[in-house]
């Protein structure tokens, strides 16, 4: 469950609130445009919130260390690498490229950095 946090509109509080609204509706499945239906709604929403927090915390750490975007992306990717089968070392390169186009680490880290900059 890779997060989607592209600039300029990402806001952690709003994203977590949206996940809570979905949860309160009690859906039986989630339909993702690029990834198909998911039946494990509660687990998926919980994991989504967890991943958002992990990425925001990692980007905060990178920002606190004064890292530029490229180094922040490398740090976040390294820190989260084992969490996603879609970006593992043994994944089909074409599939990995698809995931990078749909939700690149650089775009997501940039979105979080932008959000953190608005809060400062």
pLDDT in tens, 19-33: 999 999 999 999 987
Fill in the DSSP letter of residue 112.
Answer: H
Q: In this structure, is residue 5 part of a structural domain?
A: no
pLDDT at 88: 61
Q: In this structure, is residue 7 part of a structural domain?
A: no
Q: In Å, how far from its chain's centre is CA 2?
A: 4
Higher pLDDT, 47 or 92: 47
Q: Which domain holds residue 38?
A: 12-119
Total domain count, the chain: 1
Q: In this structure, is residue 19 part of a structural domain?
A: yes
**How far is it, in rounded angstroms, from Cα 58 to Cα 50?**
12
For residues 59-79, average pLDDT: 94
pTM of the model: 0.85
Structure token pair of residue 82 = 């084992």
**How far is it, in rounded angstroms, from Cα 96 to Cα 90?**
10
Fill in the DSSP letter of residue 81.
Answer: G
Backbone phi, psi, residue 36, to 5° = 85, -175
């Amino acid at each position: 469950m890779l997060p989607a946090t592209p600039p300029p509109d990402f806001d952690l509080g709003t994203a977590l609130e949206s996940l809570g609204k979905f949860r309160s509706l009690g859906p039986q499945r989630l339909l993702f445009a690029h990834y198909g239906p998911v039946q494990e709604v509660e687990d998926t929403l919980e994991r989504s919130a967890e991943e958002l927090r992990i990425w925001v915390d990692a980007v905060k750490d990178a920002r606190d260390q004064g890292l530029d975007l490229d180094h922040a992306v490398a740090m976040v990717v390294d820190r989260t690498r084992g969490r996603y089968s879609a970006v593992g070392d043994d994944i089909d390169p074409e599939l990995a490229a698809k995931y990078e186009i749909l939700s690149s680490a650089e775009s997501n880290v940039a979105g979080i950095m932008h959000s953190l900059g608005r809060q400062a």
